[in-house]
């Protein structure tokens, strides 16, 4: 049973903190933004699409959360710095960066265009670095902070037609470990989360592999078969939810995360270990 509506965290756990969530207006990012705000953090949603971040801001504000939003493409390093500087000037601090923004699609490596490669690597890997580098001065000045980046599990073995994304996420893993060690003296904890299959609307749209590819489609099964599919393919017997992922981010942002850095948390119901 999923536990979407149950918070295991105490009320006000993250009160007084300020967090920036890239891609925080939809899918997993929205789940993260909602939980952090529900726990008292002021959440700044940074995303490319106004239709995503405006709707998310209204929804979180209506639920009583402290939230603001800003337009950001994480590929634009100058804009990343401008946004981060704006947040720290307005709030006087920045406690948490969640590098959640990602862009992926299935495409054969043999014909992947240079621009297609670049688009995904720039969002997933360069974007993570740009944002992490941009928050460093503020986190250092305030005596510490937390960075949580979004990885995946598809690169643990290999996932055809996703060379761009798997390469980028392997880079995110490396970056996580390196920055964790390099920035530990500044008390900046750097960790990553690796979500398993979470059938959000955006993911289901983006990840229906071409029928002729022979790649197993983890999402595009008929809705009435979703439960049966999960029971068969995911050891813990159900699909993941944004809340499953958000819980780990909240944990890492809390004092429980004080001694955790350089870790990559797989949150997938055991899916990758059992993958055929």
Binding site for ligand HXC (CB under 6 A): 102-105, 107, 113, 115-116, 119-120, 123, 152, 202-203, 206-207, 218
Question: Smallest distance from the beta carbon of 18 to ligand HXC, in angstroms?
Answer: 25
Question: Smallest distance from the beta carbon of 90 to ligand HXC, in angstroms?
Answer: 27
Question: Smallest distance from the beta carbon of 195 to ligand HXC, in angstroms?
Answer: 7
Question: Smallest distance from the beta carbon of 111 to ligand HXC, in angstroms?
Answer: 8
Compute how many other C-beta atoms are within 10 angstroms of the C-beta atom of residue 262.
Answer: 15
Compute how many other C-beta atoms are within 10 angstroms of the C-beta atom of residue 165.
Answer: 24
Minimum CB distance to ligand HXC smaller for 44 or for 102 = 102
Rounded Cα gap, residues 203 and 105, in angstroms? 9
Q: DSSP character for 268?
A: S
Q: DSSP character for 125?
A: I
The span from the first CA to the last CA of the chain, in angstroms, equals: 24
Q: Which residue is nearest to ligand HXC (CB)?
A: 103
Rounded Cα gap, residues 204 and 218, in angstroms? 9
Minimum CB distance to ligand HXC smaller for 44 or for 245 = 245
Minimum CB distance to ligand HXC smaller for 69 or for 88 = 69
- Do the Cβ atoms of 90 and 20 come closer than 8 Å? no
Q: Which residue has the tokens 């265009």?
A: 113
Question: Smallest distance from the beta carbon of 275 to ligand HXC, in angstroms?
Answer: 11
Minimum CB distance to ligand HXC smaller for 92 or for 108 = 108
Minimum CB distance to ligand HXC smaller for 95 or for 271 = 271
Rounded Cα gap, residues 22 and 219, in angstroms? 24
């Amino acid at each position: 049973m999923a536990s979407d509506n149950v918070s295991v965290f105490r009320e006000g756990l993250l009160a007084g903190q300020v967090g920036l969530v890239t891609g925080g207006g939809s899918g997993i990012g929205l789940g993260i933004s909602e939980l952090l705000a529900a726990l008292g953090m002021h959440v700044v949603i940074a995303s490319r699409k106004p239709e995503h971040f405006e709707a998310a801001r209204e929804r979180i504000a209506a639920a009583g959360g402290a939230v603001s939003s800003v337009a950001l493409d994480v590929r634009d390093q100058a804009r990343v710095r401008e946004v981060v500087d704006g947040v720290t000037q307005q709030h006087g601090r920045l406690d948490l960066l969640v590098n959640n923004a990602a862009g992926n699609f299935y495409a054969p490596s043999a014909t992947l265009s240079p621009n297609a490669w670049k688009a995904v690597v720039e969002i997933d890997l360069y974007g993570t670095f740009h944002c992490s580098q941009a928050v460093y001065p503020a986190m250092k000045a305030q005596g510490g902070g937390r960075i949580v980046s979004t990885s995946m599990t598809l690169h643990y073995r290999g996932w055809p037609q996703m060379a761009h994304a798997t390469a980028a996420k392997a880079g995110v893993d490396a970056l996580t470990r390196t920055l964790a060690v390099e920035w530990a003296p500044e008390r900046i904890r750097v960790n990553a989360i690796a979500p398993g299959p979470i059938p959000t609307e955006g993911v289901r749209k983006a990840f229906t592999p071409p029928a002729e590819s022979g790649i197993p489609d983890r999402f595009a099964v008929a809705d009435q078969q979703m439960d049966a599919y999960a029971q068969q393919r995911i050891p813990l017997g159900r699909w993941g939810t944004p809340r499953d992922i958000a819980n780990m981010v909240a944990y890492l942002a809390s004092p429980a995360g004080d001694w955790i850095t350089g870790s990559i948390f797989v949150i997938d119901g055991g899916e990758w270990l059992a993958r055929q």
